[in-house]
Structure 1
Amino acid sequence: MEGASERIVVESQAFRALLQSCGYELVTPVVDANGGGNLLPHNIEAFLDRLDEAGAEEVFILTDLEDELHVRTVRDRVAHQRVRFAFVAVKALEAWFLADTQAMNAWLKTDDFFEDTPEQTAEKPWERVKQVAAERGARGPGNKVAFAKKAVTHWGFSVEHSSAHPSCPSARELIEFLRSTG
């Protein structure tokens, strides 16, 4: 995983249930690379060694697009012979939070929130999350990690919900890949 928020999502009960339904099992601990640069091929060997020790049979990466223009560029940058597939959240994982209408409504204590284009926010999706809080008079989201924890444990966030959003193809790609290969 690129960072702590991704790790929280992947280690969640909802994600584990998704993996199990697709024939996969999550090997823990999930590796938090502490930034996308640490997923580059020359840095990933130490992580792969830890995954081997934990018994991982296949390795997947979840990283953010950030300011890159093309998903393929990010995938090429993190490509490694041991990595089966790299999932790229567009623009960042927080877009998936915006796409989960159910979780966002739970956080905002409303039933009318819908983000039209969560992967095409004017700035980074995290800035949009903060803007939504301000617009809705909700308590601020805090930091990214605290928000991810609450989204998963209190508001029912799931990648499956995000993948159902008509404008969140990166989450849908992850779900479709898992379902078609597991």
Structure 2
Amino acid sequence: MVKIGFICEGKTEKNIIESDSFQEWLRLNSFDCSLPVIDAKGNGNLLPHKIEALRQELLDRGVHKIIILTDLDVDSCITSTRQRITERADQLIIVAVKQIEAWFLSDTQTLQNLFSDPAFVFNLPEEEMSPFATLQQLFLAKTNRGVGSKSILVSRMLNYGFSIEQAAQHPNCPSARYFLTKLQTLASAN
């Protein structure tokens, strides 16, 4: 078992990583995840001089590898996001394209269940500039119920079965697939 710890940009990422389904995926892939996941409370706190205390907390818990999960947001490319955070030998930086909510748009099975629409597919989830706003509009149109906040959205998605594995199966969600692949590679290297 590889002991890992997560630092996430915000509450949405934290809730996804701490979800029962993802914790089970980690166990099945030979990971021991140190809980609770650390919420950096915004990508501005993922700068080298601000992240050190968060990293030290995980190292003090005995983790072997630190996984940082953040959004691309307004950065021009994934490389610039990684450089902003600063790569280190004991950590892995995963960048969700645009925003993590694009992974929700990629989980076709969960959205079909939520919307009671077996034909629903969102074709280009990682091209959405604001996937949360898109999801708000979809929920209102498909269920006549809004999703007022990101915390309500993540709770509803997790309650209806959202999983990163399902998002990674979407042909146009390479960042979710990359995330799982990098973790599997990490597990097989140990």
- TM-score, L = length of structure 2: 0.89
Q: Aligned with 1:142: secondary structure? A: coil
1:12 to 8, 19, 37: 19
Higher strand share: 2
Q: 1:51 to 1:82 in 2, by over 3 A?
A: farther
Describe the superposition over 1:120-165 as per-residue Cα deviations: whole angstroms up to 9, x where unpaired: 01x311111012123324311221012112211x210000000000
Aligned residues: 180
1:22, distance to aligned residue in structure 2 (A): 1.9
Which residue of 20, 39, 49 corresponds with 1:32? 39
Give yes or no for contact 1:133–1:141 (8 Å, CA) kept in 2. yes
For 2:37 and 2:58, the matched residues in 1 are separated by 8
C-alpha distance 10-96 of structure 1, shift in aligned 2 (>3 A): same
Aligned counterpart for 1:126 among listed residues 123, 129, 132: 132
Q: Please identify, of 157-166 and 140-149, the stretch whose mean Cα deviation from structure 2 is larger.
A: 140-149
Q: 2:174 aligns with which of 165, 169, 173?
A: 169
User: Which SS does the other structure have where 1:27 is aligned?
Assistant: strand
Render the CA deviation track for 1:71-110: whole Å, top value 9, x for unaligned: 1110111124265211111110100000001111222222
- Aligned residue number for residue 179 of structure 1: 184
CA distance in 2, matches of 1:83, 1:47: 13
Q: Could you tell me whether the CA contact under 8 Å between 2:87 and 2:93 is conserved in 1?
A: no
Q: Secondary structure of 2:91's match?
A: strand
| TM-score of the two chains, using structure 1 as the length reference | 0.93
Q: Which amino acid aligns with 1:141?
A: V
Greater mean deviation of Cα atoms: 74-83 or 2-11: 74-83
**1:114 maps to what in 2?**
121
Whether 1:90 aligns to 2:101 is: no
Aligned AA for 1:142?
Answer: G
| Structure 1 residue ranges without an equivalent (≥5) | none
- Asked whether the equivalents of residues 108 and 138 of structure 1 are also in contact (C-alpha less than 8 Å), the reply is no
Contact (CA 8 Å) 1:7, 1:31: kept in 2 or not?
A: yes
Post-superposition Cα deviations, 1:43-91, rounded to whole Å, max 9, x if no partner, equal 0111112212322221010000012221111011112426521111111
SS of structure 1 residue aligned to 2:94: strand
CA RMSD of aligned residues (A): 1.4
Partner of 1:145: 151
- CA distance in 2 between counterparts of 1:60 and 1:97 reads 20
Distance in 1 between the 2:34 and 2:138 partners?
Answer: 35
Mean CA deviation greater in 6-15 or 99-108? 99-108
The residue identity in structure 2 corresponding to 1:140 is G
In the aligned structure 2, how far is the partner of 1:138 from the partner of 1:75?
39
Long gaps (5+) in structure 2? 1-7
